[in-house]
Structure 1
Amino acid sequence: MDILMYYAKERDHIKEELAKAPSLICLASDSLNSEHTNDEYIYITVHWVDKHWKLQKRIIRFRALSPPITLGNASYNNVMVSFLKYCFRVNRALLCDGVCFQVRCCEHILNLIVKVCLELVDDVVGKILNEIKYIKKLRIC
C-alpha cells in the first residue's frame, strides 16, 4: 500500500474515532530537537477516553519548525495561549472560560525541582562520601 494511501486511511479512521468519542478530547503539544541536525519539530497529540474506558492517544500533526520554538512551561508561551483562548472564545469552543485550557507539564516541573534540590545537597553528599572513605581507611589500619 502506498504511504499516502495509508496515511489517508489512518487519518480518516482517527477522525471517525474522535467523532464517536463519548468524552471530551484534549490536545497537547510538545517539541522535539534532533541532536544531530539541530532541527526542531513540533507535534500535536490528541487524548480521549473511548467507550471501553481506555485512554487513547494519537499524534495528529507533526511539523518541522524553521525558527526554534518550544511550548513547554516557559512564561513566553502565555502569549500563544492567550491568542488560542481568544480564538476558541470567538468560536464558542472554550469550556469553563478556559480555566483548564493550559495545564503545565508536571514532569518538567518535577525535573526542575529535583535538579535544584540535588544542587543544594551536592556539597553535603560530597562531605558524607569523604567521611565514609575516611572511616573505611581507619578500619584497614
Structure 2
Amino acid sequence: MKCRNTTVSDMEKEYIEQKDKVKQIMSRIPNRICLTSDVWTTVTSEGYICLTAHFVDENWKLTSKILNFCRMKPSHTGVELESVVFDCLKQ
C-alpha cells in the first residue's frame, strides 16, 4: 500500500498531465468553444462553480471537458459570476 505522501504526489502529477492534455486539445480547436457553468451552494453555505468547455473536435465529435472547479462565495450575482469565471479560466 502506498503512503499518503506518495498518493498525493501521484495525484498531483496526474492532475498536471491531464491539465496539459486539455490545454493541448483546446489549442487545436479551430472554431468556437461554448462554456457552461454550474453553480451551487452546499447545505453548509459553501459555494462552488464548475466550468465546462464544449466543442466539436477534428473528427466532428461533440466533446466536453471540465476546465475548472472553484470555490465561489455566495451571492451568485452576475458580477460575482463574471469575476469567478475569469479567475478560474486564468488558472
TM, length-normalised to structure 2: 0.67
Where 1:5 maps in the other structure, the secondary structure is helix
Query: May I ask how many residue pairs the two structures share in their alignment?
Result: 75
Alignment match, 1:17 = 25
Divergent runs of 4+, >6 A: none
Pick from 26, 43, 46 the counterpart of residue 39 of structure 1.
Answer: 46
What letter corresponds to residue 33 of structure 1 in structure 2? Answer: T
Shift of 1:80: 6.2
Gaps of 5+ in 2: 1-6, 84-91
2:14 maps to 1:6: yes
* 1:47, distance to aligned residue in structure 2 (A): 1.2
Assess if the C-alpha contact under 8 Å between 1:23 and 1:50 holds in 2: no
More helix per residue: 1
Q: Which has the higher strand share?
A: 2
1:51 maps to 2:58: yes
- Give yes or no for the alignment of 1:69 onto 2:78: no
Q: Give the CA RMSD over aligned residues.
A: 2.4
Change (3 A) 1:39 1:32: same
Larger-gyration structure (1/2): 1
Q: Deviations over 1:46-78 (max 9, x none)?
A: 11110111111111111112x3133xxxxx52x
